[in-house]
Amino acid sequence: MATVERLQKLIAQAGLASRRQAEQWLKDGRVRVNGRSVTLGDKADPSVDRIEVDGKALPRAEQKLYLLLNKPLGYVTTLKDPQGRPTIRRFLKGIPQRVYPVGRLDVNSEGLLLLTNDGALTQHLLHPRHQVSKTYRVKVNGRISPQACRQLEQGVELEDGVTAPAVVRNVHHSPRNSWFDLEIREGRNRQVRRMCRGVGFEVSALKRIRIGSLELGTLAKGQCRSLTSKEIQDLKSLFRHQ
């Protein structure tokens, strides 16, 4: 399928210049497509058109990959670990481009991990001002009380400050344990475990099940899949008007 884009965007994506600088190059007549002169506002499809700047072919932009991994317990969220622990690289065999995790799950946590080589999307998702929601399925020892749930939602005093408001859903119990879903919009280190400890409960199991609109679903542990076009657009739409 053709991917027709404005030339200044293609030049910027190739890393030759900023979009504004590329616009000036177009105005100056330094850009040609298939041997013909082009102007600001013209478009091209880099998969079929030959785009030249000052007579040199435009480098191909790296294909963007967006992957969802169901990280199992016991693996660190990195591609290489100096301590020799098992890493998520094991689950990325056959992936043609190098991708990087967006955020982390600690070695004792499992679930949804997003990986991509789209640096702009990564920065948006991780930037505190965007407050992208993340939902975790939490198991704690003991019977969690309504008061403790309200405290989680209102904010918990931690050593690095009070946490932002959160949402607790789907609480249920057994004689020895409690389960619930916790939605937060911060990214502090080991935040969910620290929040639960702050209201008197130790986490015994933790799984991330959602980032924004992206859901883990029924993907098996250790399995990796590409995001759909709709999932990618839904993630990008979080920042389109910001």
Orientation of helix 229-237 relative to helix 119-126, angle to 10°: 50
C-beta of residue 116 within 8 angstroms of C-beta of residue 159: no
C-beta of residue 182 within 8 angstroms of C-beta of residue 166: yes
3-state secondary structure of 159: coil
- Measured CA to CA, the distance from residue 229 to residue 86 in angstroms comes to 31
106 is known as an active-site residue? yes
How many C-beta atoms surround the C-beta of residue 59 within 10 A?
14
Catalytic residue of the set 42, 106, 181, 234: 106
In angstroms, how far is CA 32 from the centroid of its own chain?
36
C-beta of residue 198 within 8 angstroms of C-beta of residue 156: yes
Catalytic residues: 106
